[in-house]
Each structure stands twice: as C-alpha cells, then as structure tokens.
Structure 1
Amino acid sequence: MTTHSSVLVTGASTGIGATYAERFARRGHDLVLVARDQARLDALAARLREEHAVSVDVLRADLTEAADLTTVEARLRNDARIGILINNAGLAQSGGFVGQTSESIDHLVALNITAVTRLAAAIAPRLAQAGEGAIVNLGSVVGLAPEFGMSIYGATKAYVLFLSQGLSLELSPKGVYVQAVLPAGTRTEIWERAGIEVSNPSDLMDVGELVDAALVGFDRRELVTIPPLQDAAHWNALDGARQGLLADLRQAHAADRYRAVS
C-alpha cells in the first residue's frame, strides 16, 4: 500500500483503535475514525491533524445499530481513498454462559461478528478490483481457549480467525492482504466496560506494545499475528495439525472406530 491510502479504524476513540490511528497517522496515512464517543473522536482527530499533518475524518457510529452500520458500509464501498480497514471495534463478556441474557448475546454477536463481517464485505470487492489493500481483523487468543470460560466472546473471536483465514485464501490471489491479530489481555477500557475486574493490571500488555507488534506482523504480511506468543513454532504446529487432520478425512465412509461390532 502507498502512504496515500486512507485507513478506516473502528473502535477508534480509545485503546487499540486509537493507537492504530496514531501509528498510521505517524506513517503518513489519512484516517477515517469510527466510534460512538464523538468528543473523544474529535479530540483524537484534532491531535493527529496537528501532530502528523494528515487528514482525519470523524464518523460517529454505533456498529450495533443498523442505520449506523449501513452508513459505515457505504463509506467503505464508495470512498476509493480508503485502502485499509482496521476492524477493531469489539465487546468483551462478563460472567458465564448461563448468566447471559438474550439482549447481551445479541449485542455481543452484533458487534463482534455481524459488524466485522459486513464491514469486510463492504470494502473487499473494491479492494479486489483495485488489486491492492488490506483488511485487519482484531481477534483474541480467547478464541483458541474454551478453557478461559468466556464461551460466547471466545466463539466470536474464533469466528474472526476463521473469517480472516477464509478471506485470505480468497482475496490474497487478488492482491488484498488479510491479517488476523490475536491479542491476549491488553490494558484497555474493554475490561471496565464489560464489568470485569482485572486483579493485576501489570500482567496485561501495554496497548502501544500490542499495536507495534501487530504492525510488525502487518509489514511482514503475516496471516495470523499473535503478539504475546513467544514461540511461533507452537502456532505453526497447531496449524500443521489442523491441515493433517483435514488430510485424514475420508468423506465417503465412517472411520473404523465408529463401525458397529457384530
């Protein structure tokens, strides 16, 4: 991507999204910042314009609201300057599965799955036609770990990983780069907003360190970037085991261990 491409960042008013915005502004990219908090968006936009001499548009939107989501989709479809989407907006889950209400489930799925998918779908055809561009989807290591107990949240993040892998297979031959970023615990407001008390904040990664590591993966064109993973061989082994499992499938017949014993 050239530095003339604009970057649209969701969840941009604070935390990971705001840090992505600052880092891309530092690289010379113009920005479109999307979030619910108008005052924070305006303050961030003013600072980035002043510090980095880039153009920054603010688009206030709640991506769980149909009309707002449609507005952001239209911007992604129609604004040819936007060449990078940072699909960052997300919501965490507090409490176990049996404690969730229908409303909380709908809200979580709407932001973590529906919005991510529809925004990617809005920009992907245009990027594929142009033969360049990037879609970055923020997942979580929780999507690899049902043991962590955040069943719905983890399931939404497992979806984000699968979606990213599938999009990469489809779009990378057309020149479009897709990256899944899987943070672990990071010091952002997501915990407070979800009503989750963090016992030891020092155990969480600084948001700047997280985004800087993710951008190293971005520049290297990694498909899956896991900043807290110390040994990449573990991810390679996991993905290799998955591919080995697929190679062992025999669709026409059940495995011998499932055959009835006469």
Structure 2
Amino acid sequence: MQQLKYTLITGASSGLGKEFARQCAAMGRNLILLSLPGCNIFSLAESLELEYGVDVRFFEFDMTNTEVLQRCLQEIMSQYQIDFLINNAGVGGTSSITATPLEKIDSIILLNVRSTVMITRMLIPHLLQHKESYILNIASMAAFTPIAYKTVYPASKAFISSFFLGLREELSGTGLSVSVVYPGPIMTNSHTTRRIIGQGIKGKMGLLPASEIAEIALKGALSKCRVIIPGLMNRINHKLMQLLPAGLKLRLVSREVKKEIQFAT
C-alpha cells in the first residue's frame, strides 16, 4: 500500500498559514500543521478533514525551543512522508530599537532565522527521497531594503531570501525545488490591520487578501518558480525601488515606516 504524502506548514493556525492549509486541503493534499500551543489548531484540522476529506495531523509546540523542535520533527519524519514544506511561521513589529525589548529581538531572530533554517536542514534529506518535492519560504517585500524602526525584521527576511535562493542553486539538478515569496502588506491580525488602515492609501498599496497571496504563492511554488512577488503593485514597486540609490531608498521607506509606531501598540 502506497504511503500518504503530506504538506507540512509552520505557523498554520492563523493568517497566511491558515490560508495555505485551506488551499492545500482543497487541492487534496494531506497536511501536517505546526502551531504554538493554545491556537485552536485542532478545530482547524478537524474542519479541513470534514470539508475536504484529507488527512490532517497537527503538532503544538514552540519552534524557538531547539530541543523540542528537533524531537518533534524526528517524530514527524518517522511517521509521515513529507513532499512539500511551507516555511510560513514568522514574527515582526515596528518600534525604535531602544524601545524594543531584548526578548522581542531574540524571538524574531530565533523564529524567522534559526528555527526556519533548522527545520529546513532537517527535512531536506527527507524531501529528497521523493522524485519531486518542494520548499516554499515566506520572505517579505521588506527583504529588499534595510528599514529603520523595523531593523531586525527586514534583516531576518533578507536572510531568508539569501539563504533559500542559495539553497535553490545548491539543490539544482535534484527533484527538490525551492521558491521564495515576497508578500506586501497583509491584514493578518488586529495590530497589522490597525497599522495598515492608519497609513491610509500608502499603507494599502500592494495590499492583497491572504487568500490571493496563498493562491499565487502555491501556484508559483508548484510551478518551480524561483522568486514570487504577489500583486502587480508590488512588482511595479520592486522595479521602481531598484532604480533608486540605496541611501535614498532607505530614507524614503523608513520615513513611512516611522509613522506606523503610533499604531503598533
């Protein structure tokens, strides 16, 4: 009997991760959903199984805990065949560096960088066992320039971009395809929604529903695209920003981001 294949999604309980889960289930893909404890992931798993008739497994743990992450991944890999990894879990925020608690800085680095690299490294040999497999990584438009008042977040997303594009080249010639998606603003929770609305028309430029971003990202990843920038406005913005000197681009973006601080808490 052929063993079932699964798509593993990190940060699957809400926002873009939840939309990835829904759309993958609609494709008939069995799922392994990872989330923090207390995020009601059981309810999501149950509803997806009932609606789409797929097998959905879920695991609740803190990915920034290295020991727990390694133990849970070993358990998952010993039981399930994974042919698609979606690295969606991430955290950010807007504040001056001196007003940002050390714990917050550490959590961004641990989740966005270390945990993402670790889970990818552990799963690569597993993914390579399949004739075709995929890794989809969520970066951000913020990866394309340093930004004051965010500092650590865009740096973490620039790392993700660099790491996974390099990994794609390293894995070329294998059956494992690596894609990176660069979303613009997304209304994923009350804080980001308040910030985007507060910015007015500028905050809404490039804004897309999570459902549309997930659809574009999945289509691109399964088509083995290298770079995916959802939304015409975001693609135009990226091209225009490439024409600006780095210093000017940094000042322009940072000036707009500074306005977010009043909406960040």
Q: Under TM normalisation by the shorter chain, which class is it? A: 0.7 to 0.9
Letter of the aligned partner of 1:207 in structure 2?
Answer: A
Is 1:226 matched up with 2:225? no
Q: Does the Cα contact within 8 Å between 2:134 and 2:176 map onto a contact in 1?
A: yes
Q: Does the Cα contact within 8 Å between 1:12 and 1:21 map onto a contact in 2?
A: yes
Matched position secondary structure for 1:82: strand
Q: Does the Cα contact within 8 Å between 1:28 and 1:54 map onto a contact in 2?
A: yes
- Post-superposition offset of 1:126: 2.1
Q: Does the Cα contact within 8 Å between 1:138 and 1:180 map onto a contact in 2?
A: yes
Q: Could you state the TM-score of these two structures normalised by the residue count of structure 1? A: 0.80
1:76–1:46 CA distance, 2 compared to 1 (3 A): closer
Q: How does 1:106-185 map to 2 (within 5 A)?
A: 106-147=106-147, 149-185=149-185
Letter of the aligned partner of 1:222 in structure 2?
Answer: C
Distance 1:220 1:237 in 2: 26
- Post-superposition offset of 1:108: 0.8
Letter of the aligned partner of 1:17 in structure 2?
Answer: G
- Post-superposition offset of 1:216: 2.4
- Post-superposition offset of 1:122: 0.8
**Cα-Cα RMSD:** 2.9
Letter of the aligned partner of 2:12 in structure 1?
Answer: A
Q: Which runs of 4+ in 1 moved over 6 A?
A: 233-239
Q: Does the Cα contact within 8 Å between 2:134 and 2:222 map onto a contact in 1?
A: no
CA deviations 1:96-154 (Å, max 9, x no partner) are 22333322211110000011100100111222243421111111010112246421000
Q: Does the Cα contact within 8 Å between 1:6 and 1:29 map onto a contact in 2?
A: yes
Mark the runs of 5 or more structure 2 residues left unpaired by the alignment. Answer: 243-265
Letter of the aligned partner of 1:213 in structure 2?
Answer: I
Q: Could you state the TM-score of these two structures normalised by the residue count of structure 2? A: 0.79
Structure number with greater Rg is: 1
| Higher RCO (C-alpha under 8 Å, 6+ residues apart) | 2
Q: How does 1:32-71 map to 2 (within 5 A)?
A: 32-38=32-38, 40-71=40-71
Q: Does the Cα contact within 8 Å between 2:83 and 2:130 map onto a contact in 1?
A: no
2:210 maps to which residue?
207
- Post-superposition offset of 1:210: 1.0
Letter of the aligned partner of 2:228 in structure 1?
Answer: T
Matched position secondary structure for 2:195: coil
1:79–1:171 CA distance, 2 compared to 1 (3 A): farther
Is 1:21 matched up with 2:21? yes
- Post-superposition offset of 1:74: 1.4
CA deviations 1:173-216 (Å, max 9, x no partner) are 11101011111100102x62x89733158823211111111122
Mark the runs of 5 or more structure 1 residues left unpaired by the alignment. Answer: 240-262
Aligned residues: 236
1:82–1:158 CA distance, 2 compared to 1 (3 A): same
Q: Does the Cα contact within 8 Å between 2:82 and 2:127 map onto a contact in 1?
A: no
Distance 1:157 1:167 in 2: 15
Q: Identity of aligned pairs, percent?
A: 27
Distance 1:88 1:119 in 2: 12
